[in-house]
Amino acid sequence: MRKQKYNIGILGSTGAVGREMIGILYSRRFAVGEIRAFSSDRSAGTEIPFGRDTVISRTVTDGAFDGLDIVLGAASSDVARRYADEIVGSGAVFIDNSSAFRARDDVPLIIPEINADDTKAHHGIISNPNCSTAITLTAVAPLHMISPIVSMTVTTFQAVSGAGVAGIDQLENELSGNEVNRPAFPYRIAHNVIPCIGSVLPDGYTDEEMKMQYEGGKILHAPSLTVSCTCVRVPVVRCHSVSVCVRTERPITADEAYSAIAAAHGCITANDTANGIYPMPLTAHERDSVYVGRIRRDLTDYNALDLFICGDQLRKGAALNAVQIAEILTK
Amino acid sequence: MRKQKYNIGILGSTGAVGREMIGILYSRRFAVGEIRAFSSDRSAGTEIPFGRDTVISRTVTDGAFDGLDIVLGAASSDVARRYADEIVGSGAVFIDNSSAFRARDDVPLIIPEINADDTKAHHGIISNPNCSTAITLTAVAPLHMISPIVSMTVTTFQAVSGAGVAGIDQLENELSGNEVNRPAFPYRIAHNVIPCIGSVLPDGYTDEEMKMQYEGGKILHAPSLTVSCTCVRVPVVRCHSVSVCVRTERPITADEAYSAIAAAHGCITANDTANGIYPMPLTAHERDSVYVGRIRRDLTDYNALDLFICGDQLRKGAALNAVQIAEILTK
């Protein structure tokens, strides 16, 4: 695909990720011709900022995707499945942020800093990884280049905006003592943490927790990778944090790891703990890069390193990564 | 020690832990004769609730400990070191919550549910473990009885009250938009997480993180135990949560682990994830027991289990544990 301007559709444009996609298309000066912002009936007519202009969202009607080059998907898996054939049939490439197609062999799952070349094998759909997966893998991929990653033990600190605008509303209403009409979480999240995200599988893990292993194996081309993950919601508006123990085939020193991560695209090291420099939501807020720090040798396994990672999950974990994939297609 | 009534001193009585100790002495109907509440000059004269009565805090003057049977320490390590000799010299047993004496061979380090018998070897001082250590070990000790624990990978979610009243004030002032005069943390904690608690050691770990290994080995009588820990402050007022991967000599099934933990003193299982039952600060708040859930086989190591644990760090992590030690001494 090589044009002067590209016509872009956004599916689920009025949600937290959809709005972010439109903002990022503008701020990265993507060569946008037309933008078509799609939404549910309920949200149709919403004005979404695009630089100094606004885009007005509309419902998906017959022929809605005609003439589009790329559709960025920021809707649910159900909505993604409903429209995928029509999008691809209309000739657009569908870059989808839902989990609907991530496991499919004919659908590349892409983090541009890691496996951009995999986009070449697409058949009309390219998937964007899960938010925590994108943030974590961007940080650990430089280690995988030094020595293959065998396994990871992961605990996440996931922001409420990971559950969309409803998650932000719940936290803000709870903190200000207002009634919460449509809670995004099964319990209060203000002054609480909720150690369960996604649906529970028979072995006691959630589908959210398994994404790190399944998606990680596919993106890193490491099918035998195992990841044991505990996903926890925390009362933070934006930015996911991740505590990771990464085991590699051969030991990597903390210094080697630091140098590799510091040199990697998409990563910023924040690794001077003694001087108060470590990754935090406060620092990663609205940033494109993933922050990596607390880099140290694990004390239980000489072949492992412990890291703390923080990234803006609406950006690298979702909207930015999708726009970066679109940029690959147009280069 | 066997008396009708015991005279109790509280060192650091006006802080979060000291107040909790006094409340717990009352609620557990400890056979209290006299209570002497000590504090700094600045806080002297503070009224602290003791049931329907109040106790008024005073500074430590000459002979202040005379006639006391037990002194509960809720002050800093410096204060504990300053008065320890005088307390022991006066004939009282010093049950200290600071880290000052925990590593000393002649000082038992006690979690009553695990190693109550170790109290017998005291020479006037008994130490209370670190808050996260107490909560985590109470939950994993039942597994250690099935098969010795070899190592643990731990990530904590520590409440602001772990840094005392100043920590609570900082969070509340930040959330209500007020000025924070004496911040307890180096960065904003509202809508943030801070992945650094304690002083940083040369290998990149903090002293807070190393406590789990050093204190864990002593309490479990497992000197070769290794623990790799990442301690993180979260914007929660009260209750620490802990995500743990526990590796044992032989594999333990999730069912075996559940049964052992459910039968253990000091633990309540909250382990029905599919039905929304898991440990949270919301549930553990002002409870004596440690809540344990998300019990499942680790996916990276067949000899490991993953758990999520939550406990009220002012209670089991500090004040309750100290009063429980006092109860052992008086039985």
Three-class DSSP category at B278:
coil
Cβ-contact A297, A271 below 8 angstroms: no
Q: Are A282 and B254 a contacting pair at CB < 8 A?
A: no
Q: Over the Cα atoms of chain B, what is R_g?
A: 20
Q: Which tens digit of pLDDT belongs to each residue from A215-227?
A: 999 999 999 999 9
B209 to each of A212, A256, B92, B114, how far by Cα in Å? 26, 23, 31, 21
Phi, psi of B279 (to 5 degrees): -70, 140
Q: Are B196 and A227 a contacting pair at CB < 8 A?
A: no
Residue of chain A with shortest Cα separation from B194: A280
Determine the residue among B227, B280, B283 to mutate to test chain A binding: the one whose Cβ has the most chain A Cβ atoms within 10 Å: B280
Q: Which of A151, A237, A293 sits opposite B300 (nearest CB)?
A: A151
Spell out which residues of chain A touch residue B231, defining contact as CB-CB under 8 Å.
Answer: none
Cβ-contact B60, B83 below 8 angstroms: yes
Q: Which tens digit of pLDDT belongs to each residue from A58-74?
A: 999 999 999 999 999 99
Is residue B267 flagged as an active site residue? Answer: no
Three-class DSSP category at A111:
coil
Which one from B229, B240, B267, B310 is the annotated catalytic residue?
B240
Q: How far is A228 from chain B (nearest CA, A)?
A: 5
Tens of pLDDT along chain B (331 residues) come to 889 999 999 999 999 999 999 999 999 999 999 999 999 999 999 999 999 999 999 999 999 999 999 999 999 999 999 999 999 999 999 999 999 999 999 999 999 999 999 999 999 999 999 999 999 999 999 999 999 999 999 999 999 999 989 999 999 999 999 999 899 999 999 999 999 999 999 999 999 999 999 999 999 999 999 999 999 999 999 999 999 999 999 999 999 999 999 999 999 999 999 999 999 999 999 999 999 999 999 999 999 999 999 999 999 999 999 999 999 999 8
- How far is residue A110's CA from residue A93's CA, in Å, rounded to a whole number? 14
Q: How far is A217 from chain B (nearest CA, A)?
A: 13
Vertex B243 angle, CA B240 and B248, to 5° = 125
pLDDT bracket for residue A1 (50, 70, 90): confident
Dihedral sign computed on CA atoms, order A150, A253, A134, A220: negative
Cβ-contact B192, A280 below 8 angstroms: yes
Which one from A122, A131, A231, A239 is the annotated catalytic residue?
A131
Res A327 pLDDT > 90: yes
The predicted complex's ipTM stands at: 0.95
B231 to each of A183, A255, B160, B283, how far by Cα in Å? 30, 21, 12, 21
- How far is residue B198's CA from residue B204's CA, in Å, rounded to a whole number? 12
**What is the DSSP track for B127-138?**
EPPPHHHHHHHH
Distant-in-sequence, close-in-space partners of A34: CB < 8 Å, separation ≥ 6: A7, A8, A67, A68
- How far is residue A268's CA from residue A43's CA, in Å, rounded to a whole number? 37
Spell out which residues of chain A touch residue B233, defining contact as CB-CB under 8 Å.
Answer: none
Residue A326, both tokens = 């679109």
Dihedral sign computed on CA atoms, order A66, A72, A75, A80: positive
- How far is residue B188's CA from residue A276's CA, in Å, rounded to a whole number? 13
Exposed / middle / buried, residue A199 (Cβ in 10 Å: 0-12, 13-18, 19+)? exposed
Query: Residue B98: what pLDDT?
Result: 96
Query: Residue B90: what pLDDT?
Result: 97
Mean pLDDT of A267-291: 97
Mean pLDDT of A119-125: 97
Query: Residue A2: what pLDDT?
Result: 84
**What is the DSSP track for A165-202?**
HHHHHHHHHHHTT---SS-SSSS--TT--B---SPBPT
Determine the residue among A160, A185, A191 to mutate to test chain B binding: the one whose Cβ has the most chain B Cβ atoms within 10 Å: A191
- How far is residue A92's CA from residue A78's CA, in Å, rounded to a whole number? 19
Q: Are B153 and A153 a contacting pair at CB < 8 A?
A: yes
Spell out which residues of chain A touch residue B175, defining contact as CB-CB under 8 Å.
Answer: 175
For the question of whether the overall pTM of this predicted structure is more than 0.80, the answer is yes
- How far is residue A87's CA from residue A74's CA, in Å, rounded to a whole number? 14
Q: Are B195 and A308 a contacting pair at CB < 8 A?
A: yes
Distant-in-sequence, close-in-space partners of A241: CB < 8 Å, separation ≥ 6: A156, A157, A234, A279, A280, A281, A308, A309, A310, B193, B195, B232
Which one from A240, A245, A267, A310 is the annotated catalytic residue?
A240
Query: Residue A331: what pLDDT?
Result: 87
Residue B45, both tokens = 């004269």
Is residue B285 flagged as an active site residue? Answer: no
- How far is residue B308's CA from residue B291's CA, in Å, rounded to a whole number? 8
Query: Residue B1: what pLDDT?
Result: 80
Mean pLDDT of A12-39: 96
Q: Are A196 and B278 a contacting pair at CB < 8 A?
A: yes
Owner of token pair 């094998």: A121
Tell me which amino acid residue A300 is.
T
What angle separates helix B207-219 from helix B131-146, to the nearest 10 degrees? 40
- How far is residue B125's CA from residue B119's CA, in Å, rounded to a whole number? 9
Q: Are B193 and A281 a contacting pair at CB < 8 A?
A: yes
A68 to each of A30, A89, B84, how far by Cα in Å? 15, 11, 77
Beta bridge partners of B156: B231, B242
Q: Are A195 and B280 a contacting pair at CB < 8 A?
A: yes
Mean pLDDT of A179-190: 95
